[in-house]
Amino acid sequence: MYANVRPLRSLLLAAALTDPFGAAAGAATITVDTDLDADAADGVCSLREAILAANTDAVHNECPAGNGADHIRFELSSPASILLNDHLPAITESLAIHGSGTGNLTLDGLDLYRAITIESPSNGISLVVQDLTLEDGRTRFADFGGGGAYIGGGASALFERVAFVSNSSANSGGGMMVGSGGVGGQSRVTLVECIFRENVADGPTGGGGLSTTGTGTGSVVTILRSVFADNHATEGPGGAIFGGAGFITIEASTISGNSAEGNGGGIHSSTMPQGGAALLVRDTTITDNTAGTGGTIGTAGGLYLRSPGPDFPLTVSLENSVVAGNFDLVGIDQPDVLCSNLTGLAATGSTLIGANDGCDAFFPEGFPNANGDFVGTVAAPIDPLLQPLANHGGSTHVHRPSVNPLSPLIDQGTCPDAITDQRLYGDPASGLRLVDIPQVDNASGGDGCNIGAFEVGADPLFDDLIFADGFELGTSLRWDLAAGD
């Protein structure tokens, strides 16, 4: 049921040796050489004009014609901000947009306009967006959702090292909305080393950072080595993420400091009337999130997991993750997790739940319990002893487990085939994430991995960068860049 996003070195090496240019042979490279958002014959090629040239495979003002799956690059003084004067054109052909870094290139919606849009394509196009910031994007209620980006049904999209900052939606998905169904069918989105910070969803569906919804088979969303921090749902559920129909995998990531006036300060995962859903959380830290900030509704500061009934199955799996130190302001006292009508909830051991109130049937108390999980209660919560969210290396912020006093996360987990932690750190000798601290006794049945997103004692694994993504798109758009096209 779940996509296995934990990359295996042998499979990735074989994939990397295939022809990286095959799917994009003859593609055009369109260079943006102005930070002005204009569509005019003015001697320069703007991003707006470049997208139109790529969509139509025709010359557009000073931008050269696209040719199939195209690449947009930038020749701008750094740092550069492109101030949008309208929503950018919807992308209708396969395209890769290669920025120069989240601190060097910003697409600024001026709290009025959305930057990235794919509207239910019927031809299954692919999009790659790399190394830039989407900031102050906004959509009105009629625009459906996704203040920074909207991915419609049938599209495949990879966002790699993209920062979604202070975007908002009057409907759903302050930073991004992933839709599916309709003309296009199932959508697939992968987020790698992305930052979702201070995005806001104002509508009833929620999803301050990210919202996924749809009909039929729903969407497939994979989140790798990313951080969701200080996002907010002002009316609905899911301060960081609202997950409706479809499948969400979150691996080696951090969900911290998010809030919702409704349920699920961190993540709200539920099924829609159109079909079932599944959520897999692995090697991830969910902490310091708050539900019920509106004061009248809302529970489960960390995880809110609900199916409306047996006809709408929701299956959840938690692996080597921490859900602790979250808050419920309404008074129900279910701060970390609530489970309702789940088809199944599996924890494969090595998961730490600070307080199981609201989900004690699936997470019985114990340190560890019979399943190998570390589970507390509201009356006797488990403190994971995490340091504040900060830069501890890598491209995204993370909570470092305390060493003195010793965090209960250190060496108490298991991550047998994980290559790196959230920071792309691990053991250079083995090429894997695991770093076993000799002075700390491992948990029974564990391998000495830390629970959560951070591996204490790990070092950067720069040689593994090219092998750290799962080739989920099935397109050479991303690998053309690596090959120097």
pLDDT in tens, 36-66: 999 999 999 999 999 999 999 999 999 999 9
As a whole number of Å, the end-to-end CA separation of the chain is: 36
Q: Above 80 in pLDDT, residue 448?
A: yes
Any idea which of 113-117, 275-279, 389-393, 451-455 has the lowest mean pLDDT? 275-279
* Amino acid residing at 95: L
pLDDT value, residue 219: 85
Omega before 381 within 30 of 0, i.e. cis: no
Residue 349 pLDDT grade (very low, low, confident, very high; cuts 50, 70, 90): confident
Greatest mean pLDDT range, 15-29, 217-231, 269-283, 299-313: 217-231
Mean pLDDT of the chain: 86
- 467 DSSP 8-state letter: G
Residue 26 pLDDT grade (very low, low, confident, very high; cuts 50, 70, 90): low
Q: Above 60 in pLDDT, residue 30?
A: yes
Any idea which of 176-190, 367-381, 391-405 has the lowest mean pLDDT? 176-190
Q: Are 228 and 196 in contact (CB under 8 A)?
A: yes
pLDDT value, residue 185: 74
Residue 477 pLDDT grade (very low, low, confident, very high; cuts 50, 70, 90): low
pLDDT value, residue 11: 29
Q: Above 80 in pLDDT, residue 276?
A: no
pLDDT value, residue 466: 41
pLDDT value, residue 16: 29
Section 217-222 average pLDDT: 83
Query: pLDDT for 380-411, tens place per residue?
Result: 999 999 999 999 999 999 999 999 999 999 99
Any idea which of 194-208, 263-277, 362-376, 387-401 has the lowest mean pLDDT? 263-277
Section 340-363 average pLDDT: 84
* Residues in Cβ contact with 96 at an 8 Å cutoff, skipping those fewer than 6 apart: 69, 70, 71, 72, 127, 128, 129, 130, 477, 478, 480, 481
Residue 471 pLDDT grade (very low, low, confident, very high; cuts 50, 70, 90): very low
Q: Above 60 in pLDDT, residue 274?
A: no
pLDDT value, residue 104: 98
pLDDT value, residue 213: 77
Residue of higher predicted confidence among 353 and 296: 353
Residue 12 pLDDT grade (very low, low, confident, very high; cuts 50, 70, 90): very low
Q: Above 80 in pLDDT, residue 483?
A: no
**How far does CA 480 lie from the centroid of its chain?**
23
pLDDT value, residue 385: 98
pLDDT value, residue 15: 30
Section 201-218 average pLDDT: 83
CA angle 299/301/303 to nearest 5° reads 95
> Can you give the residue ranges of every domain in the chain?
9-27+68-389+463-482, 28-67
Q: Above 60 in pLDDT, residue 134?
A: yes
Q: Above 60 in pLDDT, residue 25?
A: no
* Bridge partners for 29 per DSSP: 71
Q: Above 50 in pLDDT, residue 458?
A: yes
Query: pLDDT for 413-443, tens place per residue?
Result: 999 989 999 999 999 999 999 999 999 999 9
Q: Where are the beta strands (DSSP E) in 138-260?
A: 138-139, 149-151, 156-165, 168-169, 176-178, 188-192, 195-197, 200-201, 210-212, 219-224, 227-229, 232-233, 241-243, 246-251, 254-256, 259-260
pLDDT value, residue 3: 39
Among 207, 231, 235, 233, which residue's Cα sits nearest to residue 221?
A: 207
pLDDT value, residue 17: 27
pLDDT value, residue 270: 83
Q: Above 90 in pLDDT, residue 6?
A: no
Section 324-330 average pLDDT: 92
Q: Is the pTM of this model over 0.75?
A: yes
Task: Tell me the torsion sign for CA atoms 63, 117, 113, 228.
Answer: negative
Section 453-465 average pLDDT: 81
pLDDT value, residue 123: 63
Q: What percent of the chain has pLDDT over 90?
A: 68
User: Torsions phi, psi of 15, nearest 5?
Assistant: -65, -35
Residue 472 pLDDT grade (very low, low, confident, very high; cuts 50, 70, 90): very low
